[in-house]
Structure 1
Amino acid sequence: MDSPYRRELEVALRVVEQAARLSQAVLPDTDKGAIEKDDNLGPVTIGDFAIQALLTTSLHAAFPEDVFVGEEDASALRADAVLCDRVWTTLCRTVDTSSSPDCILPASPAEMCEAIDRCKNAPGPGRVWVFDPIDGTKTFLRREMYAINVALLVDGQQTVSVVACPLLCPDEGGNDKTFLTNDSLDPTGRGSLLFAVKGHGAYVRPLFEGKGLGIATDAAPRRLLPAVASQLLRPVTCFHLQESALDDVHRSIAQRLNIAFPGNDLLGWVPRWALLATGHANMTVWVYRRRDRHAKIWDHAGAMLLFAETGGVVTDVDGRPIDLLAGRSLTRNFGFVAAPTAESHALVLQAVREVLRAQDRLDLLGAN
């Protein structure tokens, strides 16, 4: 892909390939070193820590003036020497720097922790890399669908996106299920590497040569086609996540639009954006239970660009564009509405707001 961000894309691709290789090495382990985070945001594993350290160290070496934002911090590693050693050993054992010179490892466990903590920033103007080392950690623990998300923001605009979905088939129609779920795993073992640069389209290619084989470095990418027209809406959501969103609202919206529910049903947001980009799905709605619930930037930045580069339209429930300068939490937006075209987006957004009024949830409607 010829763009002003060719170097950034090339480096990110090489590093994410190795991050995916690392995740696949950890995936079969029964004990992934999982601990619960203090902020009630779910578990974190040795894979999350190791991948964030790899991403930060490598991209900082290539672009030392850039800012980094990531989900994890190293406080648990500093407090637990055994866990820290497991993360360090995983990094050293699984990352092949000889075949990928853009991949740089920390020089010591202490530097590894420093690299992880380099991501405590909030996004702001200028060049900012955003990482979700493993999106869908709960499903990763079950050896089910997960993703690795890397985004470059420039002045708050999604500019480069690289997403690895190691368990998602890269082929068109490559899964025999009508709708994909967390346990819909690529039978070929190749996985998907998706990438986009703003204004230059979105692409997918295999991650690996096959089950148990190496990285598919020579695989030709396939450009992702524009999303399907509005009369063929195919949803992706996450059903039965009651602590976060409103299943009854989502079901009623689907009924009003006369579409399947839940349809594609995945826990991680990054895999959901990947399904939207690849055409397995082409619309999603997410209404939180309260107006003070907000998304995290690493679950969406970059991954949304994949869908946008196929022509998809993304706003919040109020119809506002997603503001990626709001902070680590997207506090200027409430929920998500995504659809393949401006026309279909307007229909879906109207259905969302009609259902909220019908269910007397005016507390969830903004001023628009």
Structure 2
Amino acid sequence: MSRHDADLELALRLADAADAITAARFRAHDLAVERKPDRTPVTDADVAVEDAIRSILTSERPDDVVMGEERGGTLDASRVWVLDPIDGTKNFLRGVPVWASLIALVVDGVPVVGVVSAPALGRRWWAAAGSGAFASDSSGTRPISVSGVRSLEDAYVSTTDIKTWVEYHSREAFLALVDATWESRAFGDFYQHCLVAEGAIDLAPEAVANPWDIAPFQVLVTEAGGRFTDLSGVERYDGGNVLTSNGHLHEAALKLLAR
């Protein structure tokens, strides 16, 4: 038993509420899409999910703080729920089924509960500090763990969009990592970090990431036996970028990704 069991149970119920909204709006002909100031898209489903989760949290955890992608908030509190109502909104609005609702509870600056729910894929991942990491799909629920790959030349690496490396970090550094590995893909967004946690791929660096994009993965990947840091090697979800790995390859990847 973990002291975070009650919070994990609530987070899973929050994910159920999110799934009920997103599944109904996915591929809807009347889906409303707007642009935020940073020119990223937001759909009516994004806003509806965040509002629904906030309503439940107001009722069940009235003393907790909420930080969400669509409604904002602060991370400066002892207990903060960090929400991305739909991670992969571009996929969602184009009818691509690779998107998810991300829910994390951060206590004293450290994510201790993380849930990632991808109903169009029929998949969900979750973890609580000290309790291990798990995934579910049509075949049931199982514990998950990272891969045992120990050499970069055998590693499978994924990122979200190579153009972000040009703008936010270093395209050359990322390509150096790609050249050192066995295979590269762009599974992108939440999915690649979930694949690291379950051992399907070995490395997932991102040149730019908001706290709500990656908070659940700090607990999910570490509970699965891997490592989670920013690109400078600090274990934090609010550093503006991220590297998740199976742990064995982390330092070698950080060295290649250094500007």
TM-score, normalised via structure 2 length: 0.90
Whole-angstrom CA distance in 2 between matches of 1:4 and 1:193: 22
CA deviation vs aligned residue, 1:43-91 (integer Å, no higher than 9, x gap): 1101101100111111221111111000113xxxxxxxxxxxxxxxxxx
| Residue pairs, 1:94-113, within 5 angstroms | none
The residue that corresponds to 1:198 in the other structure is 129
- Kindly state the Cα deviation for residue 254 of structure 1 after the two structures are TM-superposed: 1.4
User: Which structure's CA Rg is the greater one?
Assistant: 1
Whole-angstrom CA distance in 2 between matches of 1:137 and 1:241: 18
Whole-angstrom CA distance in 2 between matches of 1:15 and 1:318: 33
Which AA in structure 2 matches 1:160?
Answer: V
Which AA in structure 2 matches 1:316?
Answer: D
1:222 and 2:136 are equivalent in the alignment:
no
The residue that corresponds to 1:327 in the other structure is none
CA deviation vs aligned residue, 1:13-68 (integer Å, no higher than 9, x gap): 1221231121111012133100001233x011011011001111112211111110
The residue that corresponds to 1:253 in the other structure is 177
| Residue pairs, 1:58-73, within 5 angstroms | 58-73=56-71
- Return closer, same or farther for 1:167/1:250 CA change in 2, 3 Å cut-off: farther
- Kindly state the Cα deviation for residue 235 of structure 1 after the two structures are TM-superposed: 1.1
Aligned residues: 254
CA deviation vs aligned residue, 1:227-267 (integer Å, no higher than 9, x gap): 33223421121234345564443222211x23213x2x134
1:276 and 2:196 are equivalent in the alignment:
yes
| Residue pairs, 1:288-303, within 5 angstroms | 295-303=209-217
The residue that corresponds to 2:257 in the other structure is 352
1:287 and 2:207 are equivalent in the alignment:
yes
- Kindly state the Cα deviation for residue 282 of structure 1 after the two structures are TM-superposed: 1.9
Whole-angstrom CA distance in 1 between matches of 2:145 and 2:225: 9
Partners of 1:149 and 1:303 within 8 A in 2: no
Secondary structure of 2:38's counterpart equals coil
CA root-mean-square deviation: 2.0
The residue that corresponds to 2:94 in the other structure is 142
Match of 1:304 among 203, 209, 218: 218
Consecutive unaligned residues of structure 2, counting only runs of 5 or more, are none
Consecutive unaligned residues of structure 1, counting only runs of 5 or more, are 74-119, 169-190, 210-218, 289-294, 325-329, 357-368
Match of 1:152 among 66, 88, 105: 105
Which AA in structure 2 matches 1:50?
Answer: A
CA deviation vs aligned residue, 1:294-352 (integer Å, no higher than 9, x gap): x3110011123211111111222222221x5xxxxx3xx353233212x4211111222
Whole-angstrom CA distance in 2 between matches of 1:152 and 1:254: 33
Identity of aligned residues (%): 28
Whole-angstrom CA distance in 1 between matches of 2:240 and 2:125: 27
Higher strand share: 2
Secondary structure of 2:161's counterpart equals coil
Secondary structure of 1:230's counterpart equals coil
The residue that corresponds to 1:337 in the other structure is 243
The residue that corresponds to 1:10 in the other structure is 9
- Return closer, same or farther for 1:18/1:313 CA change in 2, 3 Å cut-off: same
Whole-angstrom CA distance in 2 between matches of 1:30 and 1:59: 30
Secondary structure of 2:215's counterpart equals coil
TM-score, normalised via structure 1 length: 0.64
Higher mean C-alpha deviation, range 126-135 or range 298-307: 298-307
Whole-angstrom CA distance in 1 between matches of 2:105 and 2:91: 26
- Return closer, same or farther for 1:307/1:229 CA change in 2, 3 Å cut-off: same
The residue that corresponds to 1:241 in the other structure is 163
Secondary structure of 2:114's counterpart equals strand
Secondary structure of 2:249's counterpart equals helix
Secondary structure of 1:302's counterpart equals helix
